[in-house]
Amino acid sequence: MAAASDEGAREAFRRGLRSGVPFAVVGFFLSASFGVLARQAGFSVVQASVTAMIVFAGSAQFAALSVITVGGGIPAALTAASLMNARFLAMGIALAPSLPGGPMKRAAQGQAVVDSSWALANRGDGTFDRWLLFGTTVPQYLTWTLGSVFGAVFGGALGDTHRLGLDAIYPVFFLSLLIAELRDATSRWVAVGGGLVALALVPISPPGVPILAASTVALIGLVRRSR
């Protein structure tokens, strides 16, 4: 039984590796654009690269960078990054029952969660395949790191990210994840509701607040779906 379980975990991890490759390719360009913009904002190559390696969250990195670019301090940048990552609260609550061990062990496993890995590991019945999640994250972390280094080192030669079209990758990336999640009526209504709330708040609230509000809508939807 244990051998079969181990083999199943290895197979899920291998499937995760394969599934993560397309997202890893996109992640390389996203992270490269961060490296370019970080260098333009005054980051050193090491600072830009280490930030990407530690944070490993595009929306948080770009939010913090935008605050720093307009003259905001570190506390404001950290606040913006935290708000942008607020969606992980709802994602973590949904994932937690599928992770074994105590709080610290689950927290350690949860470090592998990124948007695409979470979506792909979702079995659609309220549970998640943690080994698929781990496998999907591995190639994404690798290319995210390489992309940030590439962008930071060669940012001057790459030039304007708008001209290269790198700024269009990010919204298309998240739209593809959203479409994959619209499997039932509840998911569709949650997506519509969260999107409308976020759009309504964008013109009148600080960066990150729309994401937090949309995450709250998603959490409500999760509770309703589990009943």
144 vs 174: CA distance, rounded Å: 16
Judge whether 192 and 179 are in contact, CB under 8 Å: no
**Phi-psi domain of 27 (left: phi exceeds 0; alpha: psi -120 through 50; beta: other):** alpha
In tens digits, the chain (227 residues) has pLDDT values of 556 577 888 999 999 999 999 889 888 988 888 888 888 888 889 999 998 998 888 777 877 777 777 676 777 677 767 777 777 887 888 899 999 999 899 989 999 999 889 988 988 788 999 999 999 999 999 999 999 999 888 876 655 555 555 555 555 555 555 555 556 666 666 777 777 777 787 778 765 567 667 767 666 665 555 55
DSSP conformational letter for 65: H
Q: How many residues does the chain have?
A: 227
SS3 101: coil
* Helices assigned H by DSSP within 74-168: 74-84, 87-95, 103-110, 115-121, 130-158, 161-164
SS3 183: coil
- Distances from the Cα of 81 to the Cα of 40, 68, 71, 136, 158, angstroms: 19, 11, 15, 23, 26
A 10 A CB-CB count for 58 gives 22
